[in-house]
Structure 1
Amino acid sequence: MPPFYILIIVISVVILFAAFFVVKQQTAAVIERFGKFQSIRHSGLQMKIPLVDRIAGKLTLKIQQLDVIIETKTLDDVFVKLKVSVQYKVIREKVYDAFYKLDYPHDQITSFVFDVVRAEVPKMKLDDVFVKKDDIAIAVKRELQEYMTDYGYDIIKTLVTDIDPDAQVKAAMNRINAADREKTAAQFEGDAQRILIVERAKAEAESKRLQGQGIADQRREIARGLEESVEVLNKVGINSQEASALIVVTQHYDTLQSIGQETNSNLILLPNSPQAGSQMLNDMVASFTASNQIGEAMKQSKKNKNEK
C-alpha cells in the first residue's frame, strides 16, 4: 500500500477518535463551534465535529467552599477578624451564565461577602457579634443569593466559622471573665462559711440545751438519792442533821478515792489527815444544830410579834 494511503488512514483514525470525548460525573462541558457557543454536554460519552467544535471549558457541578477573611470594626470601636465560609455550586440549568457571565466567580463572591459583613458588623457591639453570628451569616447568604443567581450560582449555605478580636481585647476579655469567676467563687465560699457558722452555732446551742437538761436530770437524781438515803438513816435512829452530815462526809471520801485513782493527777488536798473527816462531821452537825436553833428563835419571835 502506498505511503499516501497509509497517511490518509492514520489521519482519519485520529480525526475519528478526536470526535469523541468523555465528560465526568457532576461536570458540564461547554462546546463552541468556530468560537461561538454551541451546546452544553453532561456526563457520559459525547461526540463533536473534529476541527469544527472544541471544548471551551468545563465546570464542576459539585458543592464548593470559599473561605473569606474580613477585618472590620464593631460599634464599640473594636477591630475584629471574621472568617466566613460560603458553600455554593453551579446551577445545572444555568451553566451558560456561570461560564460566560463571570470570569472569576471567587472574586465576585468575596466582594459581596466583604460588602455585607462591613455593613452589618459596624452596627453591633463585640459581644453582639458573637451572639448574632448566625444573623450575619443569614444576611450574607441573602445578599449573595440575590446577586449570584443571575450568574448561574446557587448559594447553599454561609457560615461565620471564626471571630477573632484584637489580641489586647481578647486579653482584657479573659481578665474580665477570670475576675467574674473569682467573684462568683468568693460568693460561694462566703455562703458556705456562713452556712457552716450557722450550723455550728445551732449544734452548739443544741449541745448546751442537752447538757443543761442532763445536768438538771443529774441533780434531780442526786436529790432523790439523798432523800432516800436520809429516809434509810432515819429508820436506824439517825436524825436528819446527822444523816446529812454523814452523807456529805461520805461524798467527801468518795471524791478523794476517785482523785486517787487518777494516775496523771497532780492535785493535792490540804488538810487530808484521818482526823479531818471526824472534825468535818462534828462541825457540820454543830452548824446544822445552830442553824435549826436560829430558825426556831426567828419563828418564835415572829409569833410573839403577831400576838401583840
Structure 2
Amino acid sequence: MNFLFGDGWILTAIIVVVVLLLLPSMIVITSQQNVKLIETFGRFSSVRRAGLSIKLPWPIQTATSNFSLRVREIAEDVGVKSLDNAFVVVPIRVQFAVRDGGEADAFYRLEDPDAQIRSYVVNQVRSTASGMTFDDLFRSRDAFETDVETTLAQRMSEFGFKIENVLVDDPQPSRELREAFDRVIAAQRLKEAATNEGEALRIKQVASAQAEGESLRIRGEAYAAFRNIIAEGNAEALTKFTAKTGLTAKNALEFFISVNEMEAVTTAAQSGGRVVFVAGSAKDGIEPALFGALTAAEDEPERSIK
C-alpha cells in the first residue's frame, strides 16, 4: 500500500513537472496591433489577436512571432516614360496594411512584403503613366492616384493586404526637359509681349488717326463756314453795288477783280518786294495814276515780270 502510494506521488510529481515545463509553450501573448499565427505540426491552423490565449504545447502547436497590423508606407521615386516620350520621375508613396481575414496570406504568401509591394507599385505606376501625356500627369494627378490605388488594391488583396492611400507628388522632369520647357515658356512670353506691344502701337496709331481725322473734319467745317460767310458777304456786296451803279453783275465782278489786283500790287510795292507779279487782266484796267505809281515801284526791284 505504501509502495502504491509512493508510486502515485512520483507519477503526480512527474506530471506536475512536465506541465510546468510545457506551460510556457502553451501561453500565447500577442501585442497590440499585432497577430500571431498558430501552426499545428507546421500547418497553419488559427490566428491569435492581441491579449493572452492558450494553445497546445510544443511540439504539437507553435506560434509565430508578432505580425504587425499597423499601416506601413513605401516611398519610391519611379522613373517613367509618358505617352509623348517625356522622361520624368514620379515621387509616390503607398500606405498599406494587412486586411481583416488576410493575415495568413500576408504572412505566408509574400516572403518580403515591402520589397514585393514596392515592385508592384513601380510596375503599376509605369504602366499607368505610359498611357498619359506629360501634361496629363500634372493636370490629372488625382485620376492618376485613383487609377494606381484601384489597380494595386485589386492585386494586393490577393496577398492579404489593403491599400490605404496612394500619394503622388508633382512629377519631376529631367534637366533637359526642364530646360526645353523653360525655353518654350520664354518664347511664349516674348510672343505675348510682342503681341501686346503691337496691339498698343495699333491702338495708338488708330487713336492718332482718329484725332487727326477729327481735326481735319473740324478745320474743314470751319473753312467751309468761313467760305460761306465770305460768299454771302460778297453776294450781298455785289447786290448793293449793282443796285447803286447800274452795272451788270459781270462788269461789277471785273471791277472787284481789278481793285483786288491793284491792292495786291500796291501792297507789294510798299513792302519793298524785289519781284512783282502783275496779272494781265489788271494791266488794261489800271488807272493812269496807279499805273504810274506801279512804274515808279518797278525802278527799285532788280527784276520785274509783267
Normalising by the smaller structure, the TM-score range is 0.5 to 0.7
Could you tell me which residue of structure 1 aligns to residue 214 of structure 2? Answer: 206
How many Å separate the matches in 2 of 1:172 and 1:20?
A: 63
Task: Compute the displacement of 1:69 (Å).
Answer: 1.2
Task: Compute the displacement of 1:161 (Å).
Answer: 1.8
Task: Compute the displacement of 1:149 (Å).
Answer: 0.5
Could you tell me which residue of structure 1 aligns to residue 178 of structure 2? Answer: 170
Q: Secondary structure at the match of 1:162?
A: coil
Matches within 5 A, 1:184-195: 184-195=192-203
Could you tell me which residue of structure 2 aligns to residue 153 of structure 1? Answer: 161
Q: Could you tell me whether the CA contact under 8 Å between 1:28 and 1:95 is conserved in 2?
A: no
Distance 1:122 1:54, change over 3 A: closer
Distance 1:128 1:33, change over 3 A: closer
State which of 156, 180, 190 in structure 2 corresponds to 1:182: 190
State which of 176, 183, 205 in structure 2 corresponds to 1:197: 205
Q: Does 1:59 align with 2:57?
A: no
Gaps of 5+ in 2: 1-19, 273-280, 287-306
Could you tell me which residue of structure 2 aligns to residue 48 of structure 1? Answer: 53
Distance 1:117 1:50, change over 3 A: closer
Q: Secondary structure at the match of 1:151?
A: coil
How many Å separate the matches in 1 of 2:52 and 2:78?
A: 46
Question: Which string of whole-angstrom CA distances, capped at 9 and with x for unpartnered residues, describes residues 89-115 of structure 1?
Answer: 322333343344334322122101222
How many Å separate the matches in 2 of 1:211 and 1:60?
A: 93
Could you tell me which residue of structure 2 aligns to residue 92 of structure 1? Answer: 100
Aligned partner of 2:205: which letter? Answer: I
Task: Compute the displacement of 1:271 (Å).
Answer: 2.7
Over aligned residue pairs, what C-alpha RMSD do you find? 4.8
State which of 20, 29, 46 in structure 1 corresponds to 2:35: 29
Q: Could you tell me whether the CA contact under 8 Å between 2:148 and 2:166 is conserved in 1?
A: yes
Q: Secondary structure at the match of 2:204?
A: helix
Task: Compute the displacement of 1:182 (Å).
Answer: 1.6
Task: Compute the displacement of 1:177 (Å).
Answer: 1.9
Task: Give the count of matched residue pairs.
Answer: 242
How many Å separate the matches in 1 of 2:64 and 2:80?
A: 43
**Structure with greater helix share of residues:** 1
Could you tell me which residue of structure 2 aligns to residue 290 of structure 1? Answer: 285
Distance 1:57 1:170, change over 3 A: same
Q: Secondary structure at the match of 1:48?
A: strand
Gaps of 5+ in 1: 1-11, 257-268, 274-285, 292-308
Q: Could you tell me whether the CA contact under 8 Å between 2:30 and 2:48 is conserved in 1?
A: no
How many Å separate the matches in 2 of 1:31 and 1:109?
A: 22
Aligned partner of 1:112: which letter? Answer: Y
Task: Compute the displacement of 1:57 (Å).
Answer: 1.0
**What TM-score do you get using the length of structure 2 for normalisation?**
0.58
Could you tell me which residue of structure 1 aligns to residue 81 of structure 2? Answer: 73
How many Å separate the matches in 1 of 2:173 and 2:89?
A: 6
**What TM-score do you get using the length of structure 1 for normalisation?**
0.58
Question: Which string of whole-angstrom CA distances, capped at 9 and with x for unpartnered residues, describes residues 271-301 of structure 1?
Answer: 359xxxxxxxxxxxx969939xxxxxxxxxx
Aligned partner of 1:178: which letter? Answer: A
